[in-house]
Structure 1
Amino acid sequence: MGSDARCCDAGGSDGPLAGVPRLADHPVAPGERWILSAGFNTGPELADTGRIDCELADLAALADAGARVAVLSHQGSHRDGSARGLSHIAAYLGRRLGRVVAYHPHSADEEAPRVAEAMAPGAVVLFGNTREYAGEERGDVGLARAFARLGDRVAVGGFSKAHRAHASNTGLLGLMPGVAARSLVRDVAELAPWAARDGRRSVAVLGGRKPEKVLAGLAGLSGSYDLIVPGGVVLNTLLAALGHRVGASWLGSDPERCVRVAREVLQGPRRAVIHLPATVYVAPADAAGNPVGPARPLALPGDVPAGHAVVDFDLQPWAAAELTYTERALVAGTPCQYRFGHTRAVDAVLPVLAGTDTLLLGGDTVAELPWRGRTSTGGGSALTLLASGDCAVLRALRAQTASLL
Structure 2
Amino acid sequence: MRQDVVVMSHASLSGVSALRDVPLLRDAVVERGSRWVYSAGFNVPAVAGRRELPVSARIDSEVADLRRLVRGGARVALLSHQGDGPASAAHLGHVADYLGHRLGTRVQYVPAAVGGEAVDLAHTMAPGSVTVFGNTRFYAGEQNNDPQLAAEFAKLGDQVAVGGFSKAHRAHASNVGILAHRPAFLADSVVREVTALDRWAGTDESHYSVAVLGGMKREKVEVGLAYLVDRYDLVIAGGVVLNALLRAGGHSIGGSFLGTSADRMVAAARMVRSRPRRAELHVASEVFVRAAGNRHADVRRARVSEPIPDADMIVDFVLEPWALGRLSGSRGRPVRCLLAGTPALYVDGCRATTDVILGAFALQGDNALLLGGDTVAELPWSGRRSAGGGSALTFLATGSCPVLDAMRGRPVSGRRHA
Same-fold status (TM-score > 0.5) = yes
Secondary structure in 1 aligned to 2:16? helix
Alpha-carbon distance in 2 for matches of 1:266, 1:293: 32
Secondary structure at 1:69 match in 2: strand
Whether 1:351 and 2:355 are equivalent positions in the alignment is no
For residue 401 of structure 2, the aligned residue among 383, 391, 394 is 391
Structure 2 equivalent of residue 43 of structure 1: 45
1:78 counterpart letter in structure 2 = G
Give me the whole-angstrom Cα distance separating, in 1, the residues matched to 2:126 and 2:33. 7
Q: Does 1:124 align with 2:130?
A: yes
1:143 CA drift (Å)? 1.5
Alignment-derived partner of residue 334 in structure 1 = 342
**Equivalent in the alignment of 2:416:** none
Q: Partner of 1:25 in structure 2? A: 27
Cα distance, 1:63 vs structure 2:
0.7
Q: Tell me the secondary structure at the aligned position of residue 169 of structure 1.
A: coil
Partner of 2:247: 240
Spell out the pairing of 1:1-400 with structure 2 (5 A cutoff). Answer: 9=11, 13-45=15-47, 46-78=53-85, 81-198=87-204, 199-286=206-293, 291=295, 293-325=297-329, 327-356=335-364, 357-399=367-409
Contiguous gaps of at least 5 residues in structure 1: 401-405
Other structure's SS at 2:143 match: helix
CA shift, 1:12, in A, is 6.5
Q: TM-score, normalised by structure 1?
A: 0.93
For 1:351 and 1:4, the matched residues in 2 are separated by: 29
Distance in 1 (alpha carbons) for counterparts of 2:10 and 2:200: 13
Tell me the distance in 2 between the aligned counterparts of 1:344 and 1:68: 50
Change (3 A) 1:90 1:385: same
The C-alpha deviation readout for 1:54-79, integer Å capped at 9, x for no partner, is 11011100011000001111112117
Gaps of 5+ in 2: 48-52, 411-418
Structure 2 CA distance for aligned equivalents of residues 208 and 221 of structure 1: 16
Does the 8 Å contact 1:315/1:345 carry over to 2? yes
Task: Deviation per CA, 1:17-74: give whole Å up to 9, x if none.
Answer: 1110111111110111001101111100332211111110111000110000011111
Question: Matched residues in 2 for 1:387 and 1:248: separation?
Answer: 29
Displacement of 1:366 after TM fit? 3.9
Instruction: Give 1:301 shift.
Output: 1.6
The percent identity for this pair of structures is: 50
When structure 1 is superposed on structure 2, of 100-109 and 371-380 the one drifting more is 100-109
Q: Aligned AA for 2:92?
A: L
Distance in 2, matches of 1:360 and 1:10, equals 22
Asked if the contact 2:373–2:390 (Cα under 8 Å) also holds between the matched residues in 1, the reply is no
Query: How far apart, CA to CA, are the structure 1 residues paired with 2:389 and 2:58?
Result: 12
**C-alpha distance in 2 between matches for 1:222 and 1:207:** 14
C-alpha displacement of 1:133: 1.8
1:317 counterpart letter in structure 2: P
Shift of 1:252: 3.2
Deviations 1:247-287 (A, max 9, x none): 3222134222221221121122111111111221122224x
Question: Within 1, Cα distance between the matches of 2:9 and 2:266?
Answer: 35
Q: Deviations over 1:279-321 (max 9, x none)?
A: 21122224xxx74633222212233321322111111111122
Shift in Å, 1:180: 0.6
Which deviates further from its counterpart, 10-19 or 239-248? Answer: 10-19
CA distance in 2, matches of 1:37, 1:348: 39
Q: Measure, in 1, the Cα distance between the counterparts of 2:357 and 2:42.
A: 29
Taking the aligned partners of 2:221 and 2:310, their CA distance within structure 1 comes to: 23
CA distance in 1, matches of 2:146, 2:398: 25
Post-superposition Cα deviations, 1:301-359, rounded to whole Å, max 9, x if no partner, equal 23332132211111111112221116111110000011111112211110111121111
Cα distance in 1 for partners of 2:281, 2:31 equals 53
- Relative distance call for 1:298 and 1:285 in structure 2 (3 A) is same
Within 1, Cα distance between the matches of 2:288 and 2:355?
Answer: 15
Q: Per the alignment, in what secondary structure is the counterpart of residue 294 of structure 1?
A: coil
Q: Deviation of residue 202 (structure 1)?
A: 1.1
| Residues 249 and 109 of structure 1, relative CA distance in 2, 3 Å threshold | farther
**1:374 is aligned with what amino acid?**
R
Q: Specify the code of the residue in structure 2 equivalent to 1:303.
A: P
Structure 1 residue 92, shift from structure 2 partner: 0.8
Distance 1:374 1:11 in 2: 19
Provide the rounded CA distance (Å) in 1 between the counterparts of 2:193 and 2:34. 26
Number of the residue aligned with 2:415: none
